[in-house]
């Protein structure tokens, strides 16, 4: 299910819908309502912070244990802005928890719904503060460490912590099933999400690095050395870029068989790689 809010696409992950349907089927209406309210408040915090800081949000996806916002590229924006946007979600959950307790105290909210809201927002806040990518805590950890240890190492640390967190969540689900005799699928869903997100994080970092490289290419204002490299039209753009050198501009003569069909350069190759999320040929430039 997808909606559009301005330039942001709103998506509900099938797992979130499944959890909602299960809650309703089991008669847990207050818990289902609390879950949807908590998710909405949490993601609204991210969205409002991003809008205030001028960060573009392409997609907002509701998950059964929180949400996932797809920024223009989390690794292509300043660490300070990334830290603020990542912190805004758990902060929204904390405010919602406090508000639900206050409304229950003033008897403006039923005790059952207030308790469900407090529980949901506490779980959302604590889970998303785990220092594991792509959770909010992982984004915050990256923003704090990327300048000290390098962007690639900070991302790999976040991915490693995500795998450790996934293993602990699966162990928690297993222990719950054995001790309490009740199966809770939410930790399993969360673990699957963490384990399958590593590739997306690495691709995002690669795209950010390429974008920065394109921006660093100085315009030609005087005659400079250039190298000419012949490549086949079906050559992978990444393979062709390995022939580029920092001390000279590289031109690519693209051949179809023995026939020259076009000329391109390193900047256009980099732009093609970014545009196609890493899957590009020299002909796409």
Q: Which two tokens stand for residue 70?
A: 């797809």
Q: Using CA atoms, how far apart are residues 262 and 258, in angstroms rounded to an integer?
A: 12
The position carrying tokens 């105290």 is 105
- 233 included as an active-site residue: no
Catalytic residue among 31, 43, 201, 266: 43
DSSP summary character for residue 247: T
Q: Using CA atoms, how far apart are residues 241 and 227, in angstroms rounded to an integer?
A: 12
Q: CA-CA distances (angstroms) from residue 192 to 65, 66, 144, 153, 169?
A: 12, 14, 26, 23, 10
Instruction: Kindly list the strands in the beta sheet with 2-5, ordered across the sheet, starting from the edge strand earlier in the chain.
Output: 2-5, 8-12, 57-63, 66-71
Nearest-CA neighbor of 280 among 239, 246, 245?
Answer: 239
Q: Using CA atoms, how far apart are residues 115 and 109, in angstroms rounded to an integer?
A: 10
Residue 3 half-sphere exposure toward CB, CA atoms < 13 A:
4
Just list the catalytic residues: 43
């Amino acid at each position: 299910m997808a909606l559009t809010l301005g330039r942001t696409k709103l998506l509900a992950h099938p797992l979130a819908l499944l959890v909602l349907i299960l809650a309703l089927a089991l008669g847990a209406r207050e818990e289902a309502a609390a879950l949807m309210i908590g998710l909405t408040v949490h993601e609204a915090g991210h969205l409002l912070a991003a809008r205030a800081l001028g960060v573009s949000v392409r997609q907002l996806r509701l998950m059964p244990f929180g949400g996932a916002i797809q920024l223009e590229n989390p690794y292509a924006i300043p660490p300070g802005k990334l830290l603020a946007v990542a912190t805004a979600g758990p902060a929204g959950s904390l405010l919602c928890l406090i508000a639900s307790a206050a409304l229950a105290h003033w008897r403006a909210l039923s005790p059952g719904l207030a308790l469900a809201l407090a529980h949901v927002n506490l779980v959302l806040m604590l889970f998303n503060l785990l220092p594991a990518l792509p959770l909010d805590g992982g984004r915050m950890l990256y923003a704090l460490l990327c300048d000290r240890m390098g962007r690639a190492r900070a991302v790999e640390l976040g991915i490693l912590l995500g795998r450790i967190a996934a293993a602990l969540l699966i162990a928690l689900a297993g222990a719950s099933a054995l001790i309490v005799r009740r199966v809770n699928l939410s930790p399993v869903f969360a673990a699957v999400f963490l384990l399958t997100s590593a590739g997306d994080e690495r691709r995002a970092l690669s795209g950010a690095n390429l974008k920065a490289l394109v921006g660093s290419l100085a315009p030609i204002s005087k005659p400079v050395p250039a190298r000419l490299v012949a490549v086949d039209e079906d050559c992978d753009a990444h393979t062709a870029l390995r022939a580029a050198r920092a001390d000279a501009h590289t031109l690519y003569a693209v051949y179809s068989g023995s026939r020259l069909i076009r000329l391109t350069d390193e900047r256009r190759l980099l732009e093609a790689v970014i545009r196609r999320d890493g899957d590009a040929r020299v002909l796409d430039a």
